[in-house]
Each structure stands twice: as structure tokens, then as C-alpha cells.
Amino acid sequence: MLVRLKRVDEAVPHFERALALDPQRPAHYTNIAGAFSELGRWDDAANAYRRSLQVQPNDPAVTLELAKILHKKGDDAAAVVEFQKVVALAPADAPVRLALAESYEALNRPQEAAQAYGEYLKIAPAGPEADNARSKIVRLTAKPAQPGDGE
């Protein structure tokens, strides 16, 4: 309730108490991770999502949240690893391909980014981000102009 009331900082001690009482419940970790995320405490959020995955491995939703947090905190190399895990766990999840592409772009890996956008288009050719994905593929795969081109 405190989170819904935007009193997230007040909710954290309650989540910590729940974890102390039952450290084997993955939901306790995801709850506190969400609170840390709301507070911009990216490292704490990532650690809580990792702990949740220790208790319940291969959860695509938690793995996705971890990947998103890693991307937000600027650790795109680690985010790519987690996004790839989500792709393996949920291969038909189109938005994951977009998020993966964005992390590849942040790492200046245009070929992999273009491929991830292309995979999004295979899954969701008329999806809400289809036009954006197509334009990014064009931009990412365009050859740089060479001296003397166009003369």
C-alpha cells in the first residue's frame, strides 16, 4: 500500500522485514527490488532481482526486470547477457528484442542491434514499434559516406 501511495521509502523497511521472515519467497525480493528501482537505487534493485533468481531461477519476468535495471544504470554489457537469457526463456517476446537492441546500440554494436530489431520485426511485423525498428535498421546498417562519393 505504501508503494501505491508513493511512500516507497517507507515501504522498504517492511519489505526488509518480510525478507528476514521468509528469505525463500522470490516475491519478497521482487517487491523490494521494485521499491529500490522506484527510488533510483539501481545497484540495490539489481542485487534484489539477482537474489530472487537464486531462489527461483529461470524466471523470465524477473530476468527481464534485472536486464532493464542494468540498462538503466548504464551496465549494458551485463544487460545484454540478461536480455539474451530472456530471449532463450521467452523467444516470442517481441519487446525484449527491442530492449536488447537498445543495449546493443548503447554498446556501439550496430550489427547486433540491427539484428535484434530485425528479430522484433519477425515476431511483430505490425507491432507498435515496427516503423521505428525499420528506420533504426536502415540507420544502423547504412554505410558511412566515403570521400569522393556522390561526385
Q: What single-letter DSSP state applies at residue 146? A: -
Place of cell 521482487: 30
- Domain residue limits, the chain: 1-57, 76-142
Is the confidence at residue 10, as pLDDT, over 90?
A: no
- CA-CA distance, 145 to 151, in Å (whole number)? 12
Cell of 50: 539477482
> Does this chain's domain 1-57 share its CATH topology with 76-142?
yes
Report which of residues 2 and 133 the model is more confident about: 133
For 1-57, CATH number? 1.25.40.10
* pLDDT exceeds cutoff 90 at 148: no
Confidence band (pLDDT; 50, 70, 90) for 44?
Answer: very high
Position of cell 508513493? 6
**Res. 146 pLDDT band, cuts 50 70 90:** low
DSSP 23-81: TT-HHHHHHHHHHHHHTT-HHHHHHHHHHHHHHSTT-HHHHHHHHHHHHHTT-HHHHHH
Q: Measured between alpha carbons, how far is 45 from 66 in angstroms, rounded to an integer? A: 8
Of the listed ranges 7-11, 42-46, 117-121, the least confidently predicted one is 7-11
Rounded Cα gap, residues 101 and 79, in angstroms? 11
Q: Identify the CATH number of the domain defined by range 76-142.
A: 1.25.40.10
Confidence (pLDDT) at 145: 62
C-alpha cell of 136?
Answer: 533504426
- pLDDT tens by residue, 74-84: 999 999 999 99
